[in-house]
Amino acid sequence: MEAVSTAAIEGSAGAGAFLDALLAVLFSLLAVVVVMTFAGLSVVAERKVCAFIQGRYGPNRTAIPVVAAIPFFGNFLKKNGLMQLVADGLKFLLKEDPLPGHVNKFWYMVAPAMALSPVLIVACVIPFGVYWIDGQIYPMSVADIDISLLFALAVSALGVYGAIMAGWSSNSKFPYIGAMRASAEVISYEIAMALSVLPVVLWVGLSSQTPLSLFSIAQAQGNLWFCITQPVSALIFLVALFAETNRLPFDVAESETDLVSGYHTEYGSFKFGLFFVGEYGHIVVGSSLFITLFLGAWSPFPGLSWPESWGWISAVLSLLTFLLKIAAMLFFFIWVRWTLPRFRYDQVMSLGWKRLVPLALLNFAAYIIFMAI
Partner 1 sequence: MAIVVERKRLSWLERTYLPQIVSGLYITLKNFFKPKVTLEYPDQYTSLPAGYRGAPTLVKDSQGREKCVSCQLCEFVCPSKAIKVVPGEISADSEYAYIEKAPSSFTIDMARCIFCGMCEEACPERAIVLQTEFSLNGLSRSELLRDKRSLYAAGGILPDKIMKWKKVKDNSELEGSH
Binding site for partner 1 (CB under 8 A): 49, 52-57, 335-336, 338-340
Find the shortest distance in angstroms from Cβ 336 to partner 1. Answer: 7
Nearest distance in Å: CB 56, partner 1:
5
Q: Smallest distance from the beta carbon of 78 to partner 1, in angstroms?
A: 13
**Shortest spacing between CB 97 and partner 1, in angstroms:** 32
- How many CB atoms are closer than 10 A to CB 294? 25
User: Closest Cα to residue 245, out of 316, 160, 171, 329?
Assistant: 160
Question: Least distance from C-beta 232 to partner 1, angstroms?
Answer: 11
Nearer to partner 1, 54 or 257 (CB): 54
What's the rounded Cα separation, in Å, for the pair 74 and 60? 12
Q: Among 52, 47, 48, 1, which Cα is nearest to 27's?
A: 1
The Cα–Cα gap between 272 and 347 comes to 28
Q: Do the Cβ atoms of 127 and 297 come closer than 8 Å?
A: yes
31, 121, 326 from 22: Cα distances, Å? 14, 18, 27
Residue 61 Cβ, how far from partner 1 at the closest point, in Å?
9
Q: Which is nearer to partner 1, 179 or 236 (CB)?
A: 236
In this structure, which amino acid lies at residue 53? I
- The answer to whether 217 and 260 have CB atoms below 8 angstroms apart is no
Q: Which of 148, 183, 255, 244 is nearest to 140 (CA)?
A: 148
Helices (H), 245-373: 256-259, 269-294, 312-337, 345-350, 357-372
Quote the least distance from Cβ 76 to partner 1, whole Å.
Answer: 17
Query: Which of 147, 336 has the CB closer to partner 1?
Result: 336
**Between residues 63 and 336, which has the closer beta carbon with respect to partner 1?**
336
Q: Are 77 and 68 within 8 A, CB to CB?
A: yes
DSSP state, 338?
T
* Least distance in angstroms from the C-beta of 55 to partner 1: 4
Residue closer to partner 1 by CB (options 263, 333) is 333
> Which lies closer to partner 1 via its Cβ, residue 202 or residue 235?
235
In the complex with partner 1, the residue whose CB is nearer, 57 or 310, is 57
H-assigned helices in the chain = 4-7, 16-53, 65-68, 73-79, 82-94, 105-123, 148-169, 173-205, 214-219, 226-229, 231-244, 256-259, 269-294, 312-337, 345-350, 357-372
The least CB distance from residue 295 to partner 1, in Å, is 18
Secondary structure class of 136 (helix, strand, coil):
strand
Q: How far is the CB of 48 from partner 1 (least distance, A)?
A: 10
Nearer Cβ to partner 1 (152/192): 192
| Closest to partner 1 by CB, 107 or 338 | 338
- Provide the 3-class DSSP secondary structure of residue 132: strand
- Report the 10 Å Cβ neighbour count for 107: 17
Looking at the Cβ atoms of 55 and 101, the one nearer to partner 1 is 55
